[in-house]
Chains A and B, each alone.
Chain A
């Protein structure tokens, strides 16, 4: 596979922004099945970086590679200077504390209230007293608009609320990078737009870097500063750049069809 087509981003990237995630020549497969090959990209601090592509192209797998759940078959992914896949012990723990992950299903612990869910990372990683943990957790829930649902169990809230609670828990430790797996999947347009707003607000006001896996066009265009596109057929990355620029000047047919929602 050749180098992916790079479309110039709309607003030029400020040169001073740090690279917080760097993937070089990453390949992944399961058994004899190759998911993608030779994927390289960089995520810079403070941006909303979107990984997009059709179903089954390996978006979520790439996210799991980035957070160290999977090990690539080739290449490496470095986050904040460290490589999660090979780190161990306290180094790995330190690195993991820099990340927050919102899982596709929310992955909230069913036996705990939303408040307790958000307090859990604080209990594990900080020496805050209980009232401090509770106060911090309430701020996080307030940031995602769930102040009034703090004492509810995950089974008692809607899908959109579960996703927002997942974000609140992911940002419990104020990590510099948040990974979101399909944040708008299965949500109604209004809730989805609200979630997009929330992501933009948090990126703007708190300076958090977001790595978002999604195939929701509206979300991609609404929140993405930069994106890469994976393709199942090409078994790799086929485009990189500003999502709006990719939409307006698609570098190839696959990208054009994706953004114009054309049936093959």
Chain B
């Protein structure tokens, strides 16, 4: 590689230690040579309190000595075509290379040599541009005039640079193959779900036979998290739903003079359908996702594997307490939702001028204990299924933080879909049974 006279001068003062490679110092410059890529630094004694951090210069650039060093400055890099030569000048670093990247590649076309004699600073990012320009010009194009520090960085980067592997032509997946793959995936998912269901059933049986395996403290903790801590939200939503239902039904019913029957309508709607359903939505959004995230994190961290290796069944230790807690808490939440909804409805009816006694009479005449019990029974099943879906989503999580997010999403979506499907099943069942 040809070396220019100025290079010898610069090299003569380059420090011998690590870090002095990338920038030469002109004669007469301070002996305080700084690391390439580091900023102009004050003397150690000057780094006292009060020194403004905004004095930090650009990263990726070699350090300028604090004493004036001639004509270095913060010269932006430039690229120009000089006959058959592509010439880089200035400071070519990670922060400055972007400004001339495309220009350099454009100008490199047809160049026969690349001249780096005007380069003051080069870091590995700048070297990537020189390598790219060399490629654009043609692989055999010589690089000339680089000072030793610049040359060292360039050589190291060149040894590291490897062209991206050729992209394999994408396999064309016909519609039939795609449908087949989708179908197989669905069947596999359904199979996994059935396996989880079977495992859960077996765990329930085993727990009944050996109740000591169940950790009561865990059940109580989950009861608190699923139930007690959801009371406020359930009450709030319940009252609002009651108010909305009462208003929305009172307006059309008033046209027929039937607004007195609003308590019956709202009462039956809440007790049979909306109370359990809305409590289920709360459970799916609040608890199902939490179960999936917690168990998903444990799966990702291999805590679940550790349990299995210790001979402890994760179904017993992790899943059963959650299933039991959700199954117990859901009817309570549904009951709370019913009561709150009725309170909201009563407030509206009082506001519309109906006396409290009349509202209570309508309620007692319109709803039966069976409505309440049926709704609470549904709620218990909802709780069991939503908790099961959340636990399964967590335990089947993949790896990495994304898997936890995916598990939480799957738990909420699966929980709500299952909720609506189950509600439909119950509606048909109750209709057939005449309840």
Contacts and interface: CB of A to CB of B under 8 A. Distances in A.
B41 A142 contact: no
A6 B97 CA distance: 43
A177 B131 CA distance: 25
Interface residues of A, number: 67
B124 A174 contact: yes
A82 B52 contact: yes
Interface in B59-95: 59-60, 62-63, 93-95
B54 A173 contact: no
Interface in B253-283: none
Interface in B78-130: 93-95, 97-99, 101-102, 123-125, 127-129
B63 A18 contact: yes
Interface residues of B, number: 67
Given A19-B44, A139-B125, A80 B131 contact: no
Contact of B399 (A17, A155, A171): A155
Nearest to A171: B124
A204 B18 contact: yes
A126 B95 contact: yes
A126 B94 contact: yes
Interface string A115-151: 0000000100111110110111011111100011011
A90 B162 CA distance: 35
Contacts of A92: 53
A155 B342 CA distance: 52
A253 B159 CA distance: 46
A33 interface: no
Interface stretch (A42-50, A58-66, A243-251): A42-50
B124 A78 contact: no
B56 A206 contact: no
B53 A139 contact: no
B60 A173 contact: yes
A140 B153 CA distance: 12
B402 interface: yes
A205 interface: yes
B37 A176 contact: yes
B36 A132 contact: no
B20 interface: yes
Interface of B: 15-22, 31-39, 41-44, 46-47, 49, 51-60, 62-63, 93-95, 97-99, 101-102, 123-125, 127-129, 131-132, 152-153, 156-157, 159-162, 164-165, 398-402
Given A126-B94, A131-B132, A174-B124, 17 more contacts: A14-B17, A17-B32, A18-B35, A42-B44, A45-B34, A81-B55, A94-B57, A111-B401, A136-B97, A139-B128, A142-B161, A175-B60, A177-B38, A204-B18, A206-B153, A207-B19, A209-B35
Interface of A: 14, 16-20, 22, 42, 45-47, 76, 78, 80-84, 86-87, 90-92, 94-95, 97-98, 110-111, 122, 125-129, 131-132, 134-136, 138-143, 147-148, 150-151, 153-155, 171-177, 203-209
